[in-house]
Amino acid sequence: MNSDNKFSWRARARSFKYAFHGIWALLRDEHNARIHLVAAILAVLLGVILHISVLQWCIIILCIGLVFAAECINSAIEAIADKVSPCHDPLVGKAKDVAAAAVLFLAIAALAVGIVIFVPAICRFFAA
């Protein structure tokens, strides 16, 4: 990092523009990201309907953020790997598979968190 760079609000605003461009590219190009988006929307709707606690909201929000962050990293790894090695390469394939596995681990963990939070809340909702 260059210590001569001064803080700039304009540069910060540009960085947000690039980040939002990345979010749009992720949702436009990655089918799994759209599935994660639907799951996130359902989790938020369930949370609102079932009046989950503040702590449960924090956990749900964290899970949603982690899954999307992992999907972003996975997509970035895949894009770079495809650029630098357009032909099949076993090591590049392994890197892409392991990055995809990271997303899968987080998605399964988020699903487990959703089950732990929402199943009892749904039972209470219908019992009332």
* Residues 99-121 pLDDT 10s: 999 999 999 999 999 999 999 99
DSSP tag of 87: S
Q: What is the pLDDT of residue 3?
A: 58
Mean pLDDT of 62-69: 98
How many Cβ atoms sit within 10 Å of the Cβ of residue 82?
A: 11
DSSP for 23-41, written as a single string: HHHHHHH-HHHHHHHHHHH
Phi-psi sector, 51: left (phi>0), alpha (psi -120 to 50), beta: left
Say which residues have a Cβ less than 8 Å from residue 32's Cβ, sequence separation at least 6: 71, 103
Look up tokens 């609102």; give the residue. 48
Residue type, 14: R
> Phi and psi dihedrals of 52, rounded to 5?
-70, 160
Query: 9-127 sits in which CATH class?
Result: mainly alpha
Mean pLDDT for the chain overall: 94
Residue type, 47: G
Question: What ranges do the domains of the chain cover?
Answer: 9-127
- In this predicted model, what pLDDT tens digit does every residue of 28-65 receive, in sequence order? 999 999 999 999 999 999 999 999 999 999 999 999 99
| This prediction's pTM | 0.88
**How many angstroms separate the CA atoms of 127 and 57, rounded?**
22
